Amino acid sequence: MKLQRKNRLRAISLGAVAVSGALALSACGSDDTGKKTTDNSSSSTSPSSIKCDNAKGQLLADGSSAQKNAIDAWVKEFSQACGVQINYKGGGSGAGVTAFTQGQVAFAGSDSALKPEEVTASKKVCSGGQGIDLPMVGGPIALGYNVPGVDNLVLDAPTLAKIFDSKIKTWNDSAIAKLNPGVKLPNLKIQAFHRSDESGTTDNFTKYLIATTPDNWKYSGGKAWQAKGGQAAPQSAGVAQQVKQTAGAIGYFELSYVTDGVKAVSINTGASKPVAPSTESATADIAAAKVVGTGKDLSLKLDYKTKAEGAYPITLVTYEIACDKGNKADTLPATKAFLRYIASEDGQKVLSGIGYAPVPDEIIAKVRTTIEGLS
């Protein structure tokens, strides 16, 4: 418990350190590679002291759109140091896993761990090995909303389930009013947006509803949206854009997509106060996650039913998926170098400043060891 508390405090303190550097990264854009080092040896001139080894060429990757803003920041830094071009499409977790199991990408990002059938499929492209889950990015799934005149909104699991299952249809519904005493709620139609593509964000959001309010959420869950009604948009950026431009809208996406015109719901978990999504509140929840993967796989089990003070319950962990053995020889050096950097202390420091939560020390230490053994 002492170590876990230390990890949480350390992750929270990283936020202040990361802000200036992370904002500088995002301001530069993800496709400007900037200066390159003169060779591919360990770079002592890089601001992050990135170890490039024999990294060269380019990497293709696809997957989780929830981590796209983090990947963009990391790619900017890594490309400056090592001269490697990384094209991360961010087409969604489902697309990323499919591309990986078909051998189309060097690594994939997914907000859900590989399923048994996906592990089996990965063995066809991982010669002598299989795909494994490496937890790399943590963060809250924000419920972003656009309700004119309402700056602070509290919801709970049953109410969220009814909203996204088209059972609660207006913002002045009595169930919402009960959770928000003294707030003037408009008689405005609710426009609930969900993902149109297969998404680990959808999987994690619906796992929260299944775990906390099964009587109100009768669906089995998974990457594909199952509830009736609502409106769909592709990727986290698409859902966030629809919420931003639609009065009465609500949708789910990673916290870094909460921008001007969009506010985030605070969740009534049963703790003494509602909990808003933040790096700190997500870290408090992720620190209690358990490693449930076997062998070199490091998939985690999150506690969606937490009532701990200050712990935000709707969190996700994005995994980078690579072969433990049998990675393609031409992309292995660059893949290892990039994964090594993003799992490093410098790489994890970037996260807090752009709306993500660093992976707790005990878990990220295991990730680092596993990366060094990739072959």
Per-residue pLDDT tens over the stretch 228-282:
999 999 999 999 999 999 999 999 999 989 988 899 999 999 999 999 999 999 9
The pLDDT of residue 49: 76
Q: What share of the chain is helix, strand, coil (3-state, %, to 5)?
A: 35, 20, 45
Candidates 1.10.3720.10, 3.40.1790.10, 3.40.190.10, 3.30.70.140; correct CATH number of 2-138+319-372? 3.40.190.10
Residue 48 has pLDDT above 80, yes or no: no
Beta bridge partners of 253: 142
The whole model's pTM is what?
A: 0.80
**What span, in angstroms and rounded, lies between the C-alpha atoms of 137 and 308?**
22
Amino acid at site 154 = V
* Token code pair at residue 92: 């969604």
Confidence of residue 71 (pLDDT cuts 50, 70, 90): very high
C-alpha 38, offset from chain centre: 34
In CATH, the number for domain 141-281 is: 3.40.190.10
**What is the average per-residue pLDDT within 126-150?**
97
Residue 76 has pLDDT above 90, yes or no: yes
Domain with CATH 3.40.190.10 in the chain: 2-138+319-372, 141-281
Query: What single string gives the DSSP state of each residue in 173-233?
Result: -HHHHHHSTT------B-EEEEESS--HHHHHHHHHHHHH-TTT------SS--SSSSEEE
Residue whose C-alpha is closest to residue 84's, from 58, 108, 49, 60: 58
Residue 40 has pLDDT above 90, yes or no: no
**What is the average per-residue pLDDT within 2-15?**
41
The pLDDT of residue 35: 34
Query: What single string gives the DSSP state of each residue in 240-256?
Result: HHHHHHSTTEEEEEEGG
The pLDDT of residue 178: 98
Residue 74 has pLDDT above 70, yes or no: yes
User: What is the chain's mean pLDDT, rounded?
Assistant: 88
Contact of 75 with 86, CB cutoff 8 Å: yes
